[in-house]
Amino acid sequence: MTNVDLDGVSRWYGNVVAVNDVSMSLGTGVTGLLGPNGAGKTTVLHMMAGFLAPSRGTVTLGGEPTWRNPAVYRRLGLVTEREAVYDFLSAYEFVLASARLHGLAQPEAAAQRAIDLVELADAQDRRVGTYSKGMRQRARVAAALVHDPEVLLLDEPFNGMDPRQRMHMMELLHSLGGAGRTILFSSHILEEVEQVSGTVQVIVSGRLAASGDFRTIRRLMTNRPHVFAVQSSDDRRLAVELMGQPSVNGVDIDRDGLTVRAGDYGSFTRALPKIALASGIRVRRLLPSDESLESVFSYLVEA
């Protein structure tokens, strides 16, 4: 298991602070690096990949610094956002060259395995210059995976992929994370992160705004009312009973049922069954409706 650790990392360009005192530790599994455009995601990723020196703090991979240390690339694979590939090579030549530069014992077999992994075998002998954006992206992922790295960093990996390719890439990241790899991918598209990873590092304006499972993060945001969708055998009577509860801030009623805004997640979820039991009301449906990553994210960005 190889961890990537950032300890008190800042990066500034002149007077502009791009990343401000960020500490995080990435372990095995898939982690999403989330933030609006311009938040500092790419800067963090480049520091992790050894392509940018932190102005302050340390960035290590498996305990070794990544800056000015090419040896870390034995354990690290990187897919940058910029879709630069050697257009004059075929995908096979490109991935094979990567395998050779890694000094692998059987570069041909490793290149073929990596190309098969990203499902590019049919087009592997065509020049990369003739590829679609999604195919080029897969060729770059294959080159980054050719040495079977313990850590894989990807900057906006789903850019330019069609839905099927996107799904395949998500499955690939899932399986790599499940196999004990440390995978970090950045994205500003919430659905992507939500589908691939429960664990997020949220960067807002260069600072680490939140870290961990996004559902847990949401529950810890006690200053934000939690919104629940409730359907019961008698919505109007349940609404009256709920308004008497100190943990409930407000209830809306419409044809689909109740929308309850609770101030305290724990108190409300404990109180609801008791109220329903005491009033003889059957609760048919109880859904937290703002535990999506989108609501967590918008709360963090607004904060």
Partner 1 sequence: MTTISWITARGLFGRRRFLLLFPLPMLLVLLAAMSRAAGVDPGQWGSPIIYGLGLGVVLPVIALIVGTAVLGSEIDDGTLVHVLTKPLPRWQIVLPKLGVATLVTALTAAIPLYVAGVLANSIRFGLGLAAATAVGALVYSALFLALSLVTRRPVLLGLVYVLIWEGLLGNVVSGTTVLSIQHYVMTVADTIAPTTLLEGRVSLPVAIVMSGVFTIGFTVLAIDRLRSFSVAGETS
Q: Does 104 bind partner 1 (CB under 8 A)?
A: no
The answer to whether residues 111 and 117 touch, using CB atoms and an 8 Å cutoff, is no
Residue whose pair of structure tokens reads 């999506």 in the numeric block: 292
Which of 74, 237, 284, 285 binds partner 1 (CB under 8 A)? It is: 74
Please work out the total of residues on this chain that contact partner 1, with binding judged by CB under 8 A: 41
Q: Does 38 bind partner 1 (CB under 8 A)?
A: yes
Q: Does 118 bind partner 1 (CB under 8 A)?
A: no
**Interacting positions 1-30 with partner 1 (CB under 8 A):** 18
Q: Does 41 bind partner 1 (CB under 8 A)?
A: yes
Q: Does 201 bind partner 1 (CB under 8 A)?
A: no
- Specify whether the backbone of 121 is left (phi greater than 0), alpha (psi in -120 to 50) or beta: alpha
Q: Does 277 bind partner 1 (CB under 8 A)?
A: no
Which of 84, 163, 244, 278 binds partner 1 (CB under 8 A)? It is: 84
What's the CA angle centered on 217, arms 212 and 219, to 5 degrees? Answer: 145
Which of 4, 34, 48, 49 binds partner 1 (CB under 8 A)? It is: 49
Which of 6, 73, 117, 291 binds partner 1 (CB under 8 A)? It is: 73
Residue 187 CB, shortest distance to partner 1, in Å, is: 11
Instruction: Give the nearer residue to partner 1 in terms of CB position, either 186 or 245.
Output: 186
Give the Cα separation of 145 and 95 in Å (integer).
9
Q: Is 181 exposed, middle or buried (0-12, 13-18, 19+ CB in 10 A)?
A: buried
**Interacting positions 150-169 with partner 1 (CB under 8 A):** 156
Alpha carbons within 13 angstroms on the beta-carbon side of residue 165 total 18
Q: Is 184 exposed, middle or buried (0-12, 13-18, 19+ CB in 10 A)?
A: buried
Those residues with Cβ within 8 angstroms of residue 111's Cβ, 6 or more apart along the chain or in another chain: 92, 95, 96, 98, 99, 142, 146
Q: Which residues bind partner 1 (CB under 8 A)?
A: 18, 37-38, 40-43, 45-46, 49, 51-53, 68, 70-74, 76-78, 80-82, 84-89, 94, 97-98, 100-103, 143-144, 156
